[in-house]
Amino acid sequence: MNIRNAAAFALLHGIGWSLLSLLFFGINGFFTDPLGLLFTFAFILGHIFLFAWILWGISIPFAWLGPRTLQGVCVGLGGITSLFFCLDLLVYSQYRFHISPAMLELFFGPAGREIFAFSTAMWVGAVLAIVLLFAVEITLSFIAKRYTPSTRLIVRFGIAWGIIFLLYNGLYAWGKFEMVPSIISQRAVLPLANPLSANRRLRKLGFEPKKDPYATPATGTLNYPLAPLTCTGKAPFTNVLILLVDSWRADSVTPQIMPNLSARLEQSGISYFTNHLSGGNATEAGVFSLFYSLPYAYWNDFTSRQLPPVLVSQALALGYVPAIYSSSKLNSPTFHQNIFATVPNLRLESQGEEKWQRDENAVQDFEKFLDTRNPHEPFFGFIFLDAPHGSSYPAQDEIFTPAQEINYLLVNKNTDPTPYLNRYKNAVHFTDRMIERIWQDLQARGLLKNTVVIISGDHGQEINDTHHNFWGHNSNFAKYQTQVPLLVWDPAQKAAKTFSHRTTHYDIAPTLLARLYGCTNPAQDYSSGQDLFDESPRPFSLISSYTKKAIRTGNDLTVLDQYGGVEMYDENFNPSQGADPHVIKDALSEFARFYK
């Protein structure tokens, strides 16, 4: 075999892998509109043939060691890559995500036999399939030896592929900018795909991505909810208000830091959940998990279809008036394209130079809404306060001193956290005043008598609590970044209650849908959670960051990192045995349960 024979060998693999990739689309569902089909064509050829070019490029240096060595290297590389595609197809068909180094480490690790239970017959079949696969590879190598493409043909093919590769990336960048669902929904179908996105660059040039809603694509396999919801509403209608605090630590509700809110813990009607987990350690995952009651892994599919959570869509269907007032922008992250995609005249941002000023503006605008609303129409409210996220507060809230802003370039695991924690506490002290202001306003208007209020955070905030130099969030899944306060005000409840059983953000939507909307569907039809007040143990909790997935059982965590390795630690970031392997398989299936 010579270098040009190796090119033919790579070409045969590119064709074979492209045909195999059609099975990925068969699982995910084909989009039949012209743009969707064009992108599928360019995506397959542009992305899959990249592997063929890599195969050929890696094999070229081995030509110096002789034709037999080159042939052996081609067979080995081709077989390993083909085996990867086949295994990835199997994983994708079951879980709707692709093989990563973390998944392989988990499979071959100590708990692999418990998580992935295969019969002897399956193992024998797998070995035979691998033997057959490499027999095919050897056959293809002999076929390739009989054909020697000219250099001109290789160059022309390379130019044609380059054009298709640019088309694939250009179509995706344009589709994401214009929010074309049948294009951007396809990104996650093929393994290791990372097409070009230009939204951030275009924003810097003064262009804004499309905001107008598109219809849900006619095809695709997202199946949400699993069954149509039957919701009657309960008369008289009860208003809903969700107060969400960005970066809110679970240990903040104290008389020193939050005197107003902590004083209300003894008030009849308040339920305080002391062992509550967010669905993420960052804003996107945390807010998504609260509203959808689903893992963050579904983010791209819901965003590309602009499909809102049933918590919002059913509220609108039942006649609730939306009252959405966020201090931070709702188009960054793009909550305007998923959670609030169908809310008319959505208020996207608040005014103010500092975060605390924007918080005040959001509260003021909510008060104006209450001034002008029709009192005979129930409202679905959402207020997102942002001050703790940047430790922002006015001078009057300088309660804890010394207070200093974090310089992330200078801190290390031995840095004294006191001045940074004090600054954070001051910001939460300001937030306490904002929550009390909203509370007293609702009380003065007589609205607390018929309004359920949910108060929680999108995620926590670590200030080197684990002593491993973690400052902020989105860096680990220890309790300091994932545990948040949760308070529920229910006017029908006659006493103050404190609950210590494990609850999660996934439980909030099922609770509201059943208790307020009168939905009779089982929670599993639309969520990964259960009723907040159901004290039966949760078998596992799913927590996400932008690049990782964590499975928590009890106080142990198994973290799957798509960039390499499996982390196992407890809620304090100490080495641990990880999550219970007996439930990991069930947890992984939750990432695919809402696909057909």
CA 499/CA 480 separation, integer angstroms: 19
Per DSSP, the residues of 122-185 read: HHHHHHHHHHHHHHHHHHHHHHHHT----HHHHHHHHHHHHHHHHHHHHHHHHHHHHT-HHHHT
**Type of residue numbered 176:** K
- Buried/exposed code over 384-402 (b: 16+ C-beta within 10 A; e: otherwise): bbbbbbbbbbeeebebbee
Neighbours of 299 (CB within 10 A): 20
**Type of residue numbered 445:** R
Predicted pLDDT at 209: 56
- How far out from the chain centre does Cα 147 lie? 48
Is residue 533 within 8 A of residue 503, CB to CB? The reply is: no
Neighbours of 551 (CB within 10 A): 24
Predicted pLDDT at 212: 46
Domains and CATH numbers, the chain: 3-204 (no CATH), 239-535 (3.40.720.10)
Predicted pLDDT at 208: 59
Scan for tokens 């339920």, then name that residue.
271
Predicted pLDDT at 586: 82
Q: Strands 566-570 and 556-561: what pairing?
A: antiparallel
Q: If we measure between CA atoms, which residue out of 287, 251, 242 comes closest to residue 459?
A: 287
- In degrees and rounded to multiples of 5, residue 569 shows phi and psi of -155, 175
List Cα–Cα distances, 283 to 457, 482, 517, in angstroms. 9, 11, 26
How is the chain split among helix, strand and coil, in percent rounded to 5? 50, 15, 40
Predicted pLDDT at 193: 86
Three-state secondary structure call for residue 383: strand
Predicted pLDDT at 220: 56
Is residue 473 within 8 A of residue 260, CB to CB? The reply is: no
Is residue 142 within 8 A of residue 3, CB to CB? The reply is: no
CB burial of residue 495 (10 Å; 0-12, 13-18, 19+): exposed
What are the start-end ranges of the H helices in 60-119?
67-95, 101-108, 112-115
- The length of the chain is 596
Helix (H) or strand (E) holding 422: helix 418-444
Is residue 491 within 8 A of residue 449, CB to CB? The reply is: yes
Three-state secondary structure call for residue 35: helix
Predicted pLDDT at 213: 40
Q: Strands 270-273 and 486-489: what pairing?
A: antiparallel
Segment 15-22 long-range contacts (CB within 8 Å, at least 24 positions apart): 16/82, 17/48, 17/51, 17/52, 17/81, 17/82, 17/85, 18/44, 18/45, 18/48, 18/49, 20/85, 20/86, 20/89, 21/48, 21/85, 21/190
Predicted pLDDT at 563: 45
Regions in the chain scoring below 70 on pLDDT: 28, 94-97, 100-119, 122, 181, 200, 202-220, 235, 409, 561-566
Who's near 420: CB < 8 A, 6+ residues apart? 391, 404, 405, 406, 411, 463, 471
Is residue 36 within 8 A of residue 182, CB to CB? The reply is: yes
Predicted pLDDT at 202: 67
Predicted pLDDT at 395: 96
Scan for tokens 């819901």, then name that residue.
302
Predicted pLDDT at 234: 75
Residue 158 in tokens: 């390379």
Scan for tokens 């250009």, then name that residue.
170
Q: If we measure between CA atoms, which residue out of 346, 377, 326, 289 comes closest to residue 590?
A: 289
